[in-house]
Amino acid sequence: MWELYASETLLQVLLVTGAIGGAAAWLTGRAIAQTWRPFWHLLVYVALLGAAVRFVHFALFEADLLALLSYIVDTLFLLAVASLSFRIARTSQMVTQYPWLYERVGPLRWRDHAAK
């Protein structure tokens, strides 16, 4: 129960957690940002998404469903992807919707026009 991905191969982890879970996390982060919800909503959705990813590991590859360490690692990876997506989408929103107030500094940041 405390081993990280004990009964799963690297390909299974990359496919389910990396590709499928990562894509779902990217879309989740973008959707939360585009609907102007606060960041803490993302934490709730990613925790649920992490449980779904663990279930897919269990259902398809007979992995341990209640592997706490695997769930934590999966969820942290999904949180990183979702946070990146959230920040990119929010930056785009701020500089597009309020061009007289903000300017883009990079893909993840904006600043006031007056702060030059």
Q: Where are the domains of the chain?
A: 10-115
For 36-67, the pLDDT digits (tens) are: 999 999 999 999 999 999 999 999 988 888 88
Chain centroid to CA 94: 20
pLDDT of 7:
79
What's the predicted TM-score (pTM) here?
0.91
pLDDT of 8:
84
Which whole-number Å values give the CA distances from 28 to 16, 45, 69, 84, in the listed order? 16, 8, 23, 11
For 89-105, the pLDDT digits (tens) are: 999 999 999 999 999 99
Which whole-number Å values give the CA distances from 37 to 8, 50, 91, in the listed order? 36, 20, 14
